[in-house]
A = this chain, B = another copy of it.
Amino acid sequence: MGFTPKEKCKKCAMFYDTGNFCAHLTPEELENLSNESRTATLKRGESFEGEALEHWPIVAISSGVLSLQHLLEDGRKSIATFFMRGDVIDLRRAGQRNRGSLIALSKAEVCRLSVDAFETIADTNHSAQHVIWDNLREQSFLSNDHAADLATKQALEKLASFLFECRYRGSTDLPKQVISIPIRRCDMAEYMGMQPETISRGFRQLEEMGILHMQDLKTVVLENEPALRRIANGARDISHITADPKAKIKILSFG
């Protein structure tokens, strides 16, 4: 924290990614916000909870993945939603009704924003206000989509939807048929209300269908995107996709 605001902020995606909140601030606003705020680096598993969260309820993500987790009495856990670079998490008033805790799913760099400075900006800087507003609305849409997925879809369909969500939210500098999965299998399971075993079986099935290929645990290469889309959309008659004979020869794909 020995940096001047400028240094500390210039390294942060919230500032240098056009379209993110801090990029829309005037130098004075940025300086003020920066002085009043606290950066932090989280390791997987570290969390903001309780009092710390009440005092710093607004968190901007520069890199990594954070999750909002709910815990049941008997230990069942679920990831209600996750946040990535550029998201501004605003949990003001969330404490009142046990809205879960904020837990890092990977190494993450965040900035805990000063509520006062943030409010001042929201009241005066219309362009920044719109960025934050759009982000919050987008989060809300994503949560709704996710709820709808959880409510109706079967395992394979949820998996397919999740892959599209990863592509939609992930960085755009990947080839179009490559999807990077930012979280672990067990986190995917908790996010989608499934077991890790089911996730694993699902990926295998999609590979056997020739729809995709796992380069490694975090990297999916799409081989038949329309088919995956149809599965995600809940088309039930996907039997004709199965057992594509040439799917067996796909060991080539490493070449």
Contacts and interface: CB of A to CB of B under 8 A. Distances in A.
Contacts of A129: 122-123
A120 to B, nearest CB: 10
A119 to B, nearest CB: 9
A147 B150 CA distance: 7
Interface residues of A, number: 52
Contacts of A126: 123
Contacts of A146: 143, 147
A26 interface: no
A93 interface: yes
B190 A93 contact: no
Interface string A45-78: 0000000000000000000000010101110111
A248 interface: no
Interface string A182-212: 0000000011110000000000000000000
Interface stretch (A13-21, A217-225, A230-238): A230-238
Contacts of A122: 129, 133
A192 B76 CA distance: 18
Contacts of A136: 133, 136-137, 140
Contacts of A192: 151
A145 interface: yes
13 contacts: A72-B157, A72-B235, A73-B233, A80-B147, A80-B151, A93-B137, A99-B144, A99-B145, A133-B136, A143-B144, A151-B192, A151-B193, A152-B193
A34 interface: no
A136 to B, nearest CB: 6
A79 interface: yes
A94 B141 CA distance: 7
A5 interface: no
Contact of A153 (B72, B123, B236): B72
Interface string A123-163: 10010010001101111110111111011110001000000
Contact of A80 (B139, B145, B233, B236): B145
A81 interface: yes
Given A73-B230, A123-B126, A230-B73, A193 B144 contact: no
